[in-house]
């Protein structure tokens, strides 16, 4: 007797979020677990964003910087190269220079950089603060304003710090990233807090926190899977697309960064580590992947093409 | 859980008056208030006062639909009143209700099929409401098999074991609660269940408390829906919390708000 696969039927779908203005793209919208085309549809393929910093990253490993070349010295050149050479679907601009420990650049200064990047690209832009709550609340209102009309995605809103960013995004027509510390209860809570301020739930993208291969990736996977199952069963406060900062996590671990006898060529190991993490996150339900190494980037995009074949 | 708001019923004086004077505002406010309070369906019943229930049902459904998109439970003992409600409803409706009598089942399951509606089956027949869980299950099984014969999807069937007032039929509480549990063994997937909750407290002096406690007990036994007063905030909160304890919703600090989003 032929084996008959059990198919699940879901009542709801993940929200579809439109990003960008010149060449807008849609993310989310799926009504099935990832790539189960027998059960449902993924109207929008997962997309890959390249992470660009507004300053040369001080502690990235040499083999990662070498793969990116001189472009890392200029955010505009870096973003342009990411699109023309590596085929980035979106750009992530991290405003690291504003962090009090890495330059403490002013709100005006980072808003200028943001404008020049926006002027140089036509793909949607994701903007991430410097990681210092107080400073981010100082720079983000100006940055949101500077990007008005460009329908960007701004982050990161957390349970303890979401009001300033929510108000700014609402005022200037941007979408928002809601972050939680690998905790499904807090993920839902942040979404509720943001929507309680009058923000449209359909303009939220969730960051469930990312973990690298070998560093708790499975836990992130299980949280994402549980959120997806709840969302597909009708929980509107978990029905947001996922963004995963794969590069940021992978390029912190020694397996990607360091020479080690018996571990093989680090230059190759690094991008393979990033790609492997990325592909696992796709299977967990990632809608936007944020990555750093051009080779990992290209390989992941190829994998998406293969996974999307019905 | 399916929360069916019970307040648009001609048996209530404000609704009877609104029907008589064709006052849309009263009906539309009830529709909006119940929806905002967490009702995911609204019961519509013309009540005993209307001399022309078919016209009244049509007017009520149209009036409600001008104000909200919430799906409707078309509540009547008369098939032609139900049919006009189904015909007028824009979104998929619920027939409230059929008994387990053959004649009634044939007619109403036919309407369910014709209008792609869901249906409530009451475990009662010409002999009246059963007094024990076994007879309730027997009648439930009859409704289930009739459903299957007539091609109505079992997922669209709600069985109502019929709740009786605790002050006049005190021994029936446990029978209903156990019947809800037993219904789940009747077929796979099990039929859904619904109760007309407020009946349990009819004539008592502690209505909200009795409604609330009975509902939580029924949810623990597997209840999937209730016709109730959604403006009773404590009642809806209790339902949401009971389902949270049963791991049907994902916890977050604002879980009560989350349910109403």
Asked if residue A37 belongs to a domain, the reply is no
State whether B254 and A230 contact (CB < 8 Å).
no
A295: closest CA of chain B, how far (Å): 39
Contact at 8 Å (CB) between B33 and B56?
Answer: no
**Alpha-carbon span B193 to B199, nearest angstrom:** 16
Q: Is B188 on the interface with A (CB under 8 A)?
A: no
Contact at 8 Å (CB) between A289 and A47?
Answer: yes
- The closest CB to that of B258, out of A184, A186, A192, belongs to A192
Contact at 8 Å (CB) between A241 and A251?
Answer: no
Interaxial angle between packed helices A184-196 and A217-232, expressed in degrees from 0 to 180 and rounded to the nearest 10: 50
State whether A189 and B252 contact (CB < 8 Å).
yes
Asked if residue A200 belongs to a domain, the reply is yes
State whether A201 and B251 contact (CB < 8 Å).
no
A243 three-state secondary structure: strand
Question: Percent of chain B scored above 70 by pLDDT?
Answer: 100
Position B261 pLDDT exceeds 90: no
What pLDDT score does B189 carry? 85
What pLDDT score does B49 carry? 73
**B23 burial level (CB within 10 Å; 0-12, 13-18, 19+):** middle
- Domain boundaries, position A233: 44-308
Show the DSSP H helices in chain A as ranges.
62-68, 75-84, 107-120, 133-146, 163-172, 184-196, 217-232, 246-250, 254-257, 266-284, 294-308
Chain A CB contacts of B258 below 8 Å: 188, 192, 235, 237
User: In what helix (H) or strand (E) does residue B195 lie, and over which residues does it extend?
Assistant: strand B192-196
Q: How many domains does chain A have?
A: 1
ipTM of predicted assembly, 2 dp? 0.83
State whether A188 and B257 contact (CB < 8 Å).
no
Pairing state between β A16-19 and A90-94: unpaired
Asked if residue A15 belongs to a domain, the reply is no
Q: Is B249 on the interface with A (CB under 8 A)?
A: yes
B175 three-state secondary structure: helix
What pLDDT score does A4 carry? 83
State whether A185 and B250 contact (CB < 8 Å).
yes
Q: Is B257 on the interface with A (CB under 8 A)?
A: yes
Contact at 8 Å (CB) between B94 and B158?
Answer: yes
Taking only the tens place, the pLDDT of each residue in B76-128 is 999 999 999 999 999 999 999 999 999 999 999 999 999 999 999 999 999 99
**Alpha-carbon span A178 to A194, nearest angstrom:** 8
Pairing state between β B41-45 and B94-98: unpaired
Residue pLDDT tens, chain A, 310 long: 688 888 888 999 999 999 999 999 999 999 999 999 999 999 999 999 999 999 999 999 999 999 999 999 999 999 999 999 999 999 999 999 999 999 999 999 999 999 999 999 999 999 999 999 999 999 999 999 999 999 999 999 999 999 999 999 999 999 999 999 999 999 999 999 999 999 999 999 999 999 999 999 999 999 999 999 999 999 999 999 999 999 999 999 999 999 999 999 999 999 999 999 999 999 999 999 999 999 999 999 999 999 999 8
Q: Is B250 on the interface with A (CB under 8 A)?
A: yes
Contact at 8 Å (CB) between A79 and A91?
Answer: yes
For range B119-147, the mean pLDDT:
97
Find the CATH number of the domain harbouring A288: 3.20.20.20
- The closest CB to that of B261, out of A184, A227, A237, belongs to A237
């Amino acid at each position: 007797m032929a084996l008959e696969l059990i198919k699940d039927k879901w009542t709801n779908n993940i929200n579809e979020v439109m990003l960008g203005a010149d060449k807008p793209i849609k993310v989310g919208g799926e009504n099935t677990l990832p790539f189960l085309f027998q059960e449902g549809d993924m109207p929008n393929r997962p997309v890959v964003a390249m992470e660009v910093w507004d300053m040369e990253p001080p502690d990235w490993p040499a083999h990662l910087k070498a793969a990116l070349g001189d472009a890392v010295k200029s955010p505009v050149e870096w973003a342009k190269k990411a699109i023309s050479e590596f085929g980035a679907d979106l750009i992530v601009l991290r405003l690291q220079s504003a962090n009090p420990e890495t330059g403490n650049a002013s709100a005006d200064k980072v808003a200028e950089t943001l404008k020049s990047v926006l002027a140089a690209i036509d793909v949607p832009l994701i903007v991430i603060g410097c990681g210092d709550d107080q400073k981010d609340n100082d720079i983000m209102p100006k940055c949101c304003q500077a990007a008005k009309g460009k329908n960007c995605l701004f982050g990161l809103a957390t349970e303890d710090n979401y009001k300033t960013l929510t108000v700014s995004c609402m005022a200037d027509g941007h979408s928002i990233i809601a972050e939680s510390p690998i905790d499904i209860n807090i993920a839902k809570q942040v979404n509720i807090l943001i929507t309680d301020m009058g923000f449209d739930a359909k303009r939220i993208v969730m960051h469930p926190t990312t973990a690298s291969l070998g560093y708790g990736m499975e836990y992130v996977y299980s949280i994402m899977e549980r959120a997806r199952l709840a969302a597909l069963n009708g929980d509107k406060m978990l029905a947001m697309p996922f963004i995963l900062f794969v590069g940021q996590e992978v390029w912190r671990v020694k397996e990607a960064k360091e020479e080690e006898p018996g571990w093989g060529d680090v230059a190759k190991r690094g991008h393979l580590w990033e790609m492997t993490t990325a592909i696992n996150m796709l299977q967990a339900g990632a809608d936007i992947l944020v990555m750093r190494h051009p080779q990992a980037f290209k390989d992941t995009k190829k994998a998406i093409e293969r996974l999307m074949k019905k | 859980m399916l929360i069916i708001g019970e307040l648009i019923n001609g048996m209530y004086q404000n609704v009877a008056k609104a029907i008589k004077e064709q006052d849309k505002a009263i009906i539309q406010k009830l529709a909006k208030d119940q929806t905002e309070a967490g009702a995911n369906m609204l019961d519509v019943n013309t009540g005993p006062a209307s001399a022309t229930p078919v016209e009244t049902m049509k007017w009520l459904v149209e009036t409600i639909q001008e104000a909200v998109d919430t799906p409707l439970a078309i509540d009547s003992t008369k098939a032609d009143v139900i049919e006009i409600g189904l015909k007028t409803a824009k979104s998929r409706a619920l027939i409230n209700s059929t008994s387990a009598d053959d004649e009634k089942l044939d007619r109403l399951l036919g309407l369910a099929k014709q209008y792609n509606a869901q249906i409530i089956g009451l475990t009662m027949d010409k002999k009246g409401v059963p007094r024990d869980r076994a007879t309730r299950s027997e009648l439930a099984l009859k409704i289930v098999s009739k459903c299957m014969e007539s091609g109505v999807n079992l997922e669209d069937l709600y069985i109502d074991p019929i709740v009786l007032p605790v002050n006049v039929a005190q021994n029936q509480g446990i029978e209903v609660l156990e019947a809800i549990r037993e219904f789940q063994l009747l077929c796979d997937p099990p039929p859904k269940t619904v109760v007309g909750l407020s009946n349990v407290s009819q004539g008592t002096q502690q209505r909200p408390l009795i409604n609330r406690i009975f509902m939580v007990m029924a949810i623990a036994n597997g209840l999937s829906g209730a016709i109730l007063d959604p403006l009773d905030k404590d009642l809806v909160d209790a339902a949401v919390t009971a389902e949270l304890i049963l791991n049907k919703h994902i916890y977050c600090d604002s879980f009560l708000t989350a349910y109403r989003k």
